[in-house]
Amino acid sequence: MIEQNNSFSYFHNSSIPLFILVTLLLGITACNQQNQVQENISEQPIPTQTPESDLTLNDVTLEEASEEGQMLWRVKSQRASYLQNQELIRVTKPEGELFQDGKVTYKITALQGEVYQDGNKIILIDEIEVYDIQNKVVIRGQQLEWLTEPGIIIVTNNITGSNEQIQASAQKAKVISQEKKIEFYGQVVAMVKEPVLKIQTEQLFWEIEQKKLLTNQPIKIEQLKDKNVIGSAYGDESEYDLGNKIATLKKNVQLLQTDPKVQISSDLVTWNMPQNLITSPGPITVLEQEEKVVLKANQGQGNFQNNTFNLSGNVIGVGQKNQAQLNSDRLTWYFENQTFEAQGNVFYRQVDPPFNVRGPRAVGQLENEKVTIEGGSSNVVTEIIPQ
């Protein structure tokens, strides 16, 4: 084995095999060392090789450049051992840099690793840390595969990723440098700092520059206040805008609010957290849990800052306790006092005492059957149903 204590570096153009340069440079280094001590060469022991490595050097810098001469990556190591039969260099405490357009974009550290002969793959293990310089994102794990030519970093085993807005954990993370995106896989839990959200899914894509979290897998989002859940949402697909703080959920969407106690069902819902608005442009069902009132419509919007829900298009309201039913074109529900205002083709029906009434507008309460039909310029029609 030949050991070199002085610092050592080389530059590699991707058109020349990496390990040809390694062998040449190591040979030159060994020859230079031999010339300096040629008077005493007979007194020196012949260098030996171990089964583990063919050559070991200290303070090594490995570099890879494109055919145009633009730097792609650089790895510095305290100690490097060349294994010819495996066509790789084993490095100790490597510090790596990934370049884009000539600038360092990622810094990577680990306790040990392997650089492969073609220069297109680097494996690092133990105490991995990947730092995105521009976006100040840190990813940690225990094993890393660095595919250098496409600029893809795959981190596994005890994954965490964080910046000033979000902290995530998963079984696997994939960093795609050109797209400025991180993909998390397996038991993903992401904590958003403002507002405080807990996101759980099996797959989450973090588009860093667009400030978005996306998934096409079932997701659970919980909004927390003083460590208590004040709202939660479920869906089969989701997009969360970290800038505007708006969640868009699709397919089999369920939202639960604790104050007031409301359950909302739809196939498309936007949840505007700063304004506390929940909007659905499609069919929607609202269950008011305190009074057991069910509201259905073609579309609706809940404003929980003023405790109202506006519904339009084939509105149906049913009081589950007494089966009173109201139909209209538009309806505003007031959660605070459990009252409503309905407009357009209003039809009200109750069971006890049984009667029907129609008119252009109505106000009242469904549960206690206090309903006022207002005629305006139209006639109110009341139908008394004999028992």
Q: Which pLDDT belongs to residue 384?
A: 40
CA quadruple 257, 258, 262, 263: dihedral, nearest 10: 60
Higher pLDDT pick, 345 / 373: 345
Mean pLDDT score of the chain: 83
Query: pLDDT of 194-242, one tens digit each?
Result: 999 999 999 999 999 999 999 999 999 999 999 899 999 999 999 999 9
Q: How confident is the model at residue 367 (pLDDT cuts 50, 70, 90)?
A: confident
Q: How confident is the model at residue 53 (pLDDT cuts 50, 70, 90)?
A: low
Q: Which pLDDT belongs to residue 379?
A: 60
| Structural domain includes residue 379 | no
Residue for token digits 């697909």? Answer: 237
Residue 144, domain CATH: 2.60.450.10
| Structural domain includes residue 107 | yes
| Structural domain includes residue 242 | no
**Dist CA 340 CA 317 (whole Å):** 10
| pLDDT of 281 over the 60 cut | yes
Spatial neighbors of 208 by CB under 8 A, at least 6 apart, are 132, 135, 137, 163, 180, 181, 182
Q: Which pLDDT belongs to residue 245?
A: 96
- What are the DSSP E strand ranges found in 193-260? 197-207, 212-215, 219-225, 228-235, 237-241, 246-258
| pLDDT of 378 over the 90 cut | no
Q: Which pLDDT belongs to residue 139?
A: 96
Q: Which pLDDT belongs to residue 85?
A: 81
344 Rama class: left (phi>0) / alpha (psi -120 to 50) / beta: left
Q: Number of structural domains, the chain?
A: 1
| Structural domain includes residue 286 | no
| Structural domain includes residue 63 | yes
| Structural domain includes residue 360 | no
| Structural domain includes residue 362 | no
pLDDT-above-70 percentage for the chain:
83
- Highest mean pLDDT (candidates 145-159, 248-262, 356-370): 248-262
Length of the chain: 387
Residue 35: helix, strand or coil by DSSP?
helix
Query: pLDDT of 308-321, one tens digit each?
Result: 999 999 999 998 77
Q: Which pLDDT belongs to residue 387?
A: 45
| pLDDT of 37 over the 90 cut | no
Total Cβ atoms within 10 A of residue 176: 16
Spatial neighbors of 131 by CB under 8 A, at least 6 apart, are 106, 107, 108, 137, 138, 139
**What does the block give as tokens for 252?**
């089999």
Residues 305, 329 contacting (CB under 8 angstroms) = no
Task: Compute the average pLDDT of residues 332-358.
Answer: 88
Residue 55: name the closest of 21, 20, 30, 18 by CA.
Answer: 30
Residue 339: name the closest of 363, 321, 362 by CA.
Answer: 363
Task: Compute the average pLDDT of residues 92-100.
Answer: 93
**Dist CA 22 CA 28 (whole Å):** 10
Residue 19: helix, strand or coil by DSSP?
helix
- What range does the domain containing 94 cover? 54-162
| Structural domain includes residue 72 | yes
Cα 91–Cα 96–Cα 101 angle in degrees, nearest 5: 145
Query: pLDDT of 123-176, one tens digit each?
Result: 999 999 999 999 999 999 999 999 987 889 999 998 999 999 999 999 999 999
